[in-house]
Amino acid sequence: EAAEKGGFASFMDKEIHDQPKAVADTLLGRTDLKGRLALDDLRIDEAVLRSIDKIIVVACGTAAYSGHVAKYAIEHWCRIPVEVELAHEFRYRDPVVNEKTLVVAVTQSGETMDTLMAVRHAREQGAKVISIVNTHGSTIPRESDAVLYTHAGPEIAVASTKAFLAQITAAYLLGLYLAQLRGNKFPDEIDEILDELRAMPAKIQEVLDRGARVREIARWMADTSSVLFLGRHVGFPVALEGALKLKELAYIHAEGFAAGELKHGPIALIEPGQPVFVIVPSPRGRDSLHAKVISNIQEIRARGARTLVIAEDGDEAVVPYADEVFWVPQAPTLLAPLLTVVPLQLFACELSTARGLDVDQPRNLAKSVTVE
Ligand code: G6P
């Protein structure tokens, strides 16, 4: 087993460090000889994909948060409405699904029963189903109309890390493929985004190389009883995933919020010393998102929060309001989750270890939940 961990203390630690490769391998071989995006394991009629008018992503747990990231990217690139729903909620609420609906099921194991039931229900209503799956030969791809495999390799630790980054990567590819097919983007625009995507594995490696500081902070915080996570836009699902990792691995009360929602309730939770991670969008992005998140940090800092800020290299505007900054390399806003989630994974993993817990096999959890 020590050999399988490749010199790391846990599978989780190893899998977090496998992420540059998981993303690179998921991108590999997805373009044809002309450099055009070609998803040849996607066996679905192109006319059908041109005619769909809605996408619903169904998934559970971490996979569902990759779906939230997918929503921002696919809507922006393809101008198709995208809903994201927990598979078990989708299945039992009589959703509006028909031949013009594309359901995207995201799952590491391919065996999650809630997700499988959602896939079956969607197909019974006439929807087409594409699954994004890591495990070859599993049930969900067999029952889907098409599959886009993630190439993260086997994920052993119960809580998902590298599969999450691979799922986000596959969802970007699906979005670009649809944009190309439906003529929403020119080929050179797609090429540009693909080039940015191909640059991500090296940037993820950079975040890992800078991981010592977040680990150190995690060890200092081993006795903390509550951590909050704030993000906006694609930073919102990253905040949700950061909180989920901490719950799963360290059994600490953790909650993720949309930063804009702060004033509508969560700010009441802020008291002196409350640690809050804030995922800051790129200052180079549009829509004044960055300024809005900076003002959210000011609001919680003024009430005594201890601010742990994840920001892009060069974003000096965060420094005056941050108790700690974890810097990540610059990247386009929509692709940034591949970087900003990594310090949060390292934090949860290290904090769990500092508390003497089994980071690979947290209590009460199963790698694949094959009952409803
Ligand atoms: C379980 C695991 C989670 C995972 C979820 C969905 O709850 O503990 O880490 O995110 O199932 O699993 P799937 O295999 O469908 O991605």
pLDDT of residue 353: 96
Question: pLDDT digits over 215-224, tens only?
Answer: 999 999 999 9
Among 5, 54, 292, 367, the active-site one is 367
Question: Are the CB atoms for 73 and 331 separated by under 8 Å?
Answer: no
Residue 208 CA to ligand 1 center (angstroms) comes to 23
Q: Which residues contact 15 (CB under 8 A, 6 or more apart)?
A: 155, 156, 157, 161, 162
Residue 37 DSSP class: B
- CB count in 10 Å sphere of residue 212: 10
pTM, full prediction: 0.96
For residue 345, the CA-to-ligand 1 centroid distance in Å is 15
Question: Which atom of ligand 1 lies at the shortest distance from residue 109's CA?
Answer: 14
88 by Cβ neighbours in 10 Å (0-12 / 13-18 / 19+) ranks as middle
Nearest alpha carbon, ligand 1 atom 5: 61
* pLDDT score of 366: 86
List residues near ligand 1 (CB under 6 A): 60-63, 107-109, 112, 115, 158-160, 365, 367-369
Band the pLDDT of 247: cuts 50, 70, 90: very high
pLDDT on residue 339? 98
On the CB side of 153, CA atoms within 13 Å amount to: 17
**Cα 318 to ligand 1 centre (Å):** 34
Expressed in angstroms and rounded, the spacing between residue 316 Cα and the centre of ligand 1 is 37
Q: What is the pLDDT of residues 201-242, one digit of tens each?
A: 999 999 999 999 999 999 999 999 999 999 999 999 999 999
Active site residue 367: yes
pLDDT at 35: 73
How many Cα atoms occupy the beta-carbon half-sphere of 275 within 13 Å?
A: 20
The predicted pLDDT at position 187 comes to 84
Residue nearest to atom 15 of ligand 1 (CA): 107
Statement: residue 292 has pLDDT above 80: yes
DSSP string, 207-230: HHHTTHHHHHHHHHTTT--EEEEE
Ligand 1 atom with the shortest distance to the CA of 248: 8
367, 370, 371, 372, best to mutate for ligand 1 pocket (most atoms within 8 Å of CB): 367
Q: What is the pLDDT of residue 370?
A: 87
Q: At what angle do helices 61-78 and 162-181 cross, to 10 degrees?
A: 20
Residue-level pLDDT at 1: 73
Atom number of ligand 1 nearest to Cα 60: 6
* Mutational pocket test of ligand 1: of 88, 160, 161, the residue with most ligand atoms within 8 Å of the beta carbon: 160
Q: Whose CA is nearest to atom 4 of ligand 1?
A: 61
User: Which residue's CA is the closest to the ligand 1 atom numbered 8?
Assistant: 367
pLDDT of residue 39: 82
Q: What is the pLDDT of residues 109-120, one digit of tens each?
A: 999 999 999 999
**Nearest-angstrom CA–CA distance, 12 and 4:** 12
Element (H, E) at 248: helix 235-250
Probe target for ligand 1 pocket from 58, 60, 358, with the most ligand atoms within 8 Å of CB:
60
Mean pLDDT within 158-185: 94
Average pLDDT, the chain: 94
> Which SS3 state, helix, strand or coil, does residue 107 take?
strand
Residue 177's pLDDT band, with cuts at 50, 70 and 90, is very high
pLDDT of res. 40: 74
Ligand 1: which of 108, 164, 240 to mutate, judged by most atoms within 8 Å of the beta carbon?
Answer: 108
Q: What distance in angstroms lies between residue 361's CA and the mean position of ligand 1's atoms?
A: 13
**CA count, 13 A, side-chain hemisphere, 85:** 21
Calculate how far, in angstroms, residue 107's C-alpha sits from the geometric centre of ligand 1.
Answer: 7
Q: How far is the CA of 240 from the centre of ligand 1 (A)?
A: 15
pLDDT tens digits along 23-72 = 999 999 888 877 778 887 788 888 999 999 999 999 999 999 999 999 99
ipTM for the assembly: 0.94
